[in-house]
Structure 1
Amino acid sequence: MQAGSPEVTVPCVVVPPKKLANTPNGDPEQAYNPLGVKNTDSCLPLRRTGPVMHDYACEGPAAGDITLRWIHGSVVAAKNTDPRVHVIAYNEDTYILRENPCVHWEAPFTYLLFGNSEALLIDTGATPDAAYYPLRATVDALVRRWCQLRGRKTIPLTVVLTSGEDVSQHQGRGQFVGRPDTTLAPMELAEAKAFYGLSKWPHETRKIDLGGRVITVIPTPGTHKDGVTFYDSYNKMLYTGDLLYPGRIMIANDRDYVASLTRLKAWSESHPVKWVMGGHVEMMFVPGRAYPRFRNHREFEHVLQLEPGVIADALVSATGIVGQAKVVFREEFILLNRVGPDEQVYRTGADMPDIAVPFWLP
């Protein structure tokens, strides 16, 4: 500036950081809230004037990850001291629960999803007795905690099943009978169709609106005649139950199974899918190997979450064995069509590496 020139004052403009469209419920710029964690600041406003409302419209999957080792049982089940229900907070509105393998060897998974106006529990585990498997007490505690964080007294709960036929997924349902402000989806197929509004089963979908968080009900019979898959538009996940998971998949109707996988493949091509989340884990960490049934100790398990490409892999494999009594071994699952559950479960596929497992494993 030249001498004698008038002094010019430049106003200081503070530009707030841009809110990322794919993380609507938290500020990832905060050190305590980076991408991939729980976005806790969105639940803890400094001056709350009413219930906290979340924005569930995101460009990509909501923040969240699974970076742990699930409880995997014990050699002597009676001496196991792990929690009866293993719970992780995937993000601020999503909880994943697993039944302890020492309570029931199938160790099924249950998913608790929250929206602004309703909560949804997908599947209820393999044990009816709350003394051994306290599912309702666990869910009640999670609901209370969520309501405290969100400034609410309570929230309605709907309990749904990926299959009313699947014994390992509906046994805990009775614990919720009589629970206040709770709706139970029917177990019988005809009643379930009416409940969801699926009059053109299995060639249509229906939506469950949890209050901004929309869950799509997709009919997927094949392992069970009443099988359904739930698509979570917030996490971009498919909750598939017994239809597709890292384990031995027993195909009850091969043509229905192929049709359901075709339907899921088309869905995944028109909707973003982060992971396929099944109802169990039975595979080992080595390709094509599964633990035998009734095993309470599975120290070297495969991860729960599967990449969406597994749908196409399963579709190709299932299509090739329609009408045949065969077992197909793939790296992340085993298909059993028209054979018993223990048929050839120790043999790996010819196109997969034969990796030796530790000597104490089968």
Structure 2
Amino acid sequence: MARWIWSRPALQWSVALLAASTAIAHPARAATPVLFAERWIDGTNGVEPATQVQALDDDTFVIRQSVKTNFEAPFVYLLFGRDKALLIDTGAEDGNIRQTVDRLISDWLVRKKRADIPLIVAHSHSHGDHIAGDDAFRQRANTTLVGLKPDEVANFFGIAKWPEQISRYELGGRKLHILPTPGHQSAAIMVYDPKLRILLSGDTLYPGRLYVPVNFVADNRASVNRLSMFVARYPIRAVLGAHIEMSREKGRDYAHEAAAHPDEHPLELPVATIAELKAGMRASLDTPDERQVHDDFIIVPVGARTE
């Protein structure tokens, strides 16, 4: 299988982070932070690989599944600590994410002169386009799959009071914050990495259509309110979600199941979009026709769901 793996020089990464930090420190002129050196595969260049990888540093990798394999084109995150690695999501159908993950782990082990490292496979939430690759990891050696129900997620990450409590999960010299964010889906979480000051936001916030079941609007609103309090205490350079469904034109999304994303919105969102989402969630979202268009995302109420 053809693959592209791109990384970035340390100097370029440092400059990008400095620029992002400066932008967030001056909200009046804040701009979308730029964390990635290359344009993401978007279906517009003919033949493209099934996955693309870009590295944020030597221990942090962002994987995109090609829109040509599945219209959802989700993003998957792999984070290494000294003692274990954490994979967040396994992609949509036909993604073959495990092959990419195995290669990244193998390369990391060579660089670190290690023989092995335990892998934890967790999920931003349990919708099919984020768990379709789970079966490929079930028999993988030294690998633990976190369950898909809220109580299973809470038990694994030590969240005694779901969803109000924020827990910390240690990878070994890299302690992550696990934030329960039910609403879009009942077992949804976000992951904050203090090392890089990035927030992995799943489907709760990304440049695209933020689907909220009408019977879980209150849950989603409460999650966003808690998130807003969290980001007031912790510095965040960028919010990184699980999809891109918006173009660079403000407020314009692609058609559902679009085969290509020309002029695609950056994956990165500035922290200011969290306040905008909080304000948007205050509006009436009681029926599916109350679609709310913002520059960088669209809040889309959908019919009631059972979970």
- TM-score of Structure 1 vs Structure 2, range by shorter chain: 0.7 to 0.9
Counterpart position of 1:47: none
In structure 2, C-alpha distance between the alignment counterparts of 1:33 and 1:282, rounded to whole Å: 29
1:169 maps to a residue whose letter is: H
Structure 1 portions without partners, runs of 5+: 1-31, 39-63, 341-362
Counterpart position of 1:267: 230
CA contact (8 A) 2:91 2:131 kept: yes
1:194 maps to a residue whose letter is: N
CA contact (8 A) 2:70 2:95 kept: no
- The answer to whether the aligner puts 1:36 opposite 2:24 as a matched pair is no
CA contact (8 A) 2:245 2:253 kept: yes
C-alpha offsets along residues 241-293 of structure 1, whole Å, 9 cap, x if unaligned? 11000001111211111111111111111001111111000001100000011
One of 81, 84, 99 as aligned partner of 1:115: 81
- The answer to whether the aligner puts 1:69 opposite 2:30 as a matched pair is no
1:108 maps to a residue whose letter is: P
In structure 2, C-alpha distance between the alignment counterparts of 1:280 and 1:184, rounded to whole Å: 22
Counterpart position of 2:100: 138
Q: Post-superposition shift, 1:324?
A: 5.0
Larger RCO (CA under 8 A, 6+ residues apart): 2
Change (3 A) 1:280 1:202: same
One of 159, 181, 192 as aligned partner of 1:231: 192
Counterpart position of 2:51: 85
In structure 1, C-alpha distance between the alignment counterparts of 2:83 and 2:186, rounded to whole Å: 31
In structure 1, C-alpha distance between the alignment counterparts of 2:141 and 2:181, rounded to whole Å: 31
Q: Post-superposition shift, 1:37?
A: 5.6
Structure 2 portions without partners, runs of 5+: 1-8, 16-33
Q: Post-superposition shift, 1:189?
A: 2.3
Percent identical across equivalent pairs? 33
CA contact (8 A) 2:13 2:56 kept: no
- Which structure's CA Rg is the greater one? 1
RMSD: 2.0
Counterpart position of 1:171: 132
C-alpha offsets along residues 187-222 of structure 1, whole Å, 9 cap, x if unaligned? 122222222222211110111101010111110011
Give the 4+ runs in structure 1 shifted more than 4 A: none
1:334 maps to a residue whose letter is: I
Count of aligned positions: 276
One of 238, 255, 262 as aligned partner of 1:292: 255
C-alpha offsets along residues 308-351 of structure 1, whole Å, 9 cap, x if unaligned? 000000110111124355111000000012469xxxxxxxxxxx
One of 269, 272, 282 as aligned partner of 1:319: 282
Listed as ranges, the matches of 1:212-361 within 5 Å are 212-252=173-213, 253-325=216-288, 326-338=290-302
TM-score, normalised relative to structure 1: 0.73
In structure 2, C-alpha distance between the alignment counterparts of 1:214 and 1:199, rounded to whole Å: 18
Change (3 A) 1:35 1:296: closer
Q: Which has the higher helix share?
A: 2
Change (3 A) 1:186 1:303: same
TM-score, normalised relative to structure 2: 0.85
Counterpart position of 2:30: none
Q: Post-superposition shift, 1:89?
A: 1.3
In structure 2, C-alpha distance between the alignment counterparts of 1:258 and 1:37, rounded to whole Å: 35
In structure 2, C-alpha distance between the alignment counterparts of 1:260 and 1:191, rounded to whole Å: 19
In structure 1, C-alpha distance between the alignment counterparts of 2:170 and 2:10, rounded to whole Å: 27
In structure 2, C-alpha distance between the alignment counterparts of 1:249 and 1:323, rounded to whole Å: 15
